Chain A
Amino acid sequence: MQDVNYRPKIVAFCCNWCSYAGADLAGSSRLAYPADVKIIRVPCSCRVNPLFILRAFQRGADGVIMAGCHPGDCHYTSGNYFARRRMTLLFSMLDYLGIERERTRVEWISAAEGAKFSKTMNEFAATIAALGENKRLEDLRCKK
């Protein structure tokens, strides 16, 4: 039975050059998205180790989204291509583990796409809220 006060925990990894700037633009354009989304700034989407995502699930995150520059626009030339491949592999592993596919997502959001950032986060948060708590990977020992 789901707790009525349930609020999903969503971790968003954003690359410094595109998506983090896109989040800033969403902010300065006052384009709201749920407070459940918390952003972690990384230099590039290729800095996101799949382990970080597993760690988030282990610590009780209900959804993890990674946002980077559009393919071809990476500040570091090719970082987002690496990220894309790594995430493809990770997602198939998560699938194998029985984590719903919808709990993870990769989006390419440029510094000019504040509206896309907000829209994506709204959609993602709604999806996660509908899926409910993620219990499969959560490590209960990590709970307070």
Chain B
Amino acid sequence: MSHDKKQAQLDEILAASGVDVRKCMRCGKCTATCPAFDEMEYHPHQFVYMVEKGQIDKLAASPSIWQCLSCFACMERCPRQVEPAKLIEAVRLSVIRAKGANHLKPEEIPALLDADLPQQAITSAFRKYSK
């Protein structure tokens, strides 16, 4: 990807998320709090740092963006209002848009549901897979 295009993607991610990555003081509370830690290749604090460094390609290619549960624990606990979950969501969104198709269609959902699934997980799934 050309430099300009890359910059445009980065700008779009920052604008969509509303996150100011420079606020991060690298305390790691997001990663300490993350319930999906073991699944992820890149962890919430790395997301912030990698976006700051402009390494969007690596993030976009990583399965980590789909392993994020969208539970927002990192957002809730971030002491510097960096809110990594918003950033992860914006990266995901950018990937979905680039593909030009939703990752999950509404009609596929009923088949995936089970009775124990909390409402929040369904909402989160919508947030995660379709735009």
Answer whether A and B touch in the complex at a CB cut-off of 8 Å. no
